[in-house]
A = this chain, B = another copy of it.
């Protein structure tokens, strides 16, 4: 085998090489033949291209090479880049040389035909190679990068909270635990409490890492392991946090539209729906939401939890996200601050994504009074000793502060228009899914 001298190019950069000879390294996505021509659709993980081989250009040897390769066999090709407006991606490759690398051992399990979900999930490591899954992973990356760029650009410091924690902050029923050299450690459900320490040290921080919930429910919106982003800002109130969330959502959507239009096409996501995600997001109080829900026929009274079905109704009110705020305090965590004018209300908000997607963000202002927080911890039946470090934030220079948590996978599902979160992460973990 002669080592090709043409430069190795990735398909996402191919537009720079129009008219030039290049080397591609990838896998056979599919192929067909038509008389004296062989067509090879090649993927390299950054894009797809149709390679056209005529008998005059690649000879019998080249034809034999193509004929030896089945779906997902690996190969390198040398050829000339040619603009072709009708081709997906806008270019074709006129083949000069075909170099098989490895012929797949047997038929690739995931053919272009339809497969059941369980089969695809069992073969997730191979399913990821499909055009649609590649597009979703690339959009996920663009969303992650947009979120980080958003906070970095506003002077936030990244603050990685611990995964192992010694206390259960909201009950143990949905916690995973592990033996930690004789002690019990719980896997973090949220980095918020630690993020608050960060905000007091660094002014404004964001966490970005995996969190864990032993969710026994099988729904389209729950994973046992999912990534959360949790900004926390000293000297910020609830409305400041809601505006931050609004700005962040618009920034992410804009970035996806700017950098991932090709991928949106692949997954057949209408960009017009995303272009509507603009400020201001409509605000609706919990009080008003209850009225809307009752009028829409929901069986709910003031004080009731706004669950998945109710969220769908509210999020369908608008073609942009809806900010739902001022929940009954009894529904919320012990650390949420109450409204000074009405102590039955918590200074919290959710952002509900449109198209019936529901909650993607939950946040609010934190209780910053030492004595009140001690009472709340006791009221919730929690152990004050476990929270001494957290209480210290209220002992030494307490300040108003607020933040929120954004679920990454729900955001990817929303922006990609996916009905289920299982395709939003490389290897989803659910109640009955621990492998591959």
User: Which A residues lie at the B interface, using CB under 8 A?
Assistant: 8, 10, 12-13, 25-28, 44-46, 72-74, 76, 101-102, 104-106, 108, 123, 125-126, 128-129, 133-134, 137-138, 140-141, 144-145, 148, 152, 155, 157-167, 176-181, 183, 185, 187, 194, 197-204, 209-210, 212, 214, 216, 224-225, 227, 234-235, 368, 370, 388-390, 392-393, 395-399, 425-427, 429, 431-432, 434-436
Contacts and interface: CB of A to CB of B under 8 A. Distances in A.
A165 B433 CA distance: 10
A160 to B, nearest CB: 6
B435 A126 contact: no
Nearest to A175: B178
A10 B160 contact: no
A133 B159 CA distance: 12
A28 B399 CA distance: 13
A429 B165 CA distance: 9
Q: Chain copies in the assembly? A: 2
Given A10-B155, A166-B434, A178-B187, 18 more contacts: A10-B204, A27-B397, A46-B155, A73-B396, A101-B397, A102-B397, A105-B395, A125-B393, A133-B201, A134-B202, A137-B202, A138-B202, A145-B152, A145-B158, A162-B429, A163-B210, A164-B434, A185-B434
16 contacts: A10-B155, A13-B155, A45-B234, A46-B202, A101-B398, A105-B396, A123-B392, A129-B201, A137-B159, A137-B202, A145-B158, A162-B426, A163-B163, A178-B178, A181-B431, A388-B436
Given A145-B158, A155-B13, A102 B399 contact: yes
A104 B162 contact: no
Q: Dominant SS at the A interface?
A: mixed
Given A145-B158, A148-B145, A155-B12, A397 B28 contact: yes
**Most B Cβ at <10 Å: residue of A10, A74, A179, A183:** A74
A128 B197 contact: yes
Contacts of A161: 426-427
Nearest to A25: B235
Given A163-B210, A194-B426, A396 B434 contact: no
B72 A194 contact: no
Given A197-B128, A426-B197, A104 B214 contact: no
Contacts of A157: 45-46, 137-138, 141
B200 A129 contact: yes
Contacts of A209: 209-210
A292 to B, nearest CB: 35
Contacts of A158: 140-141, 144-145
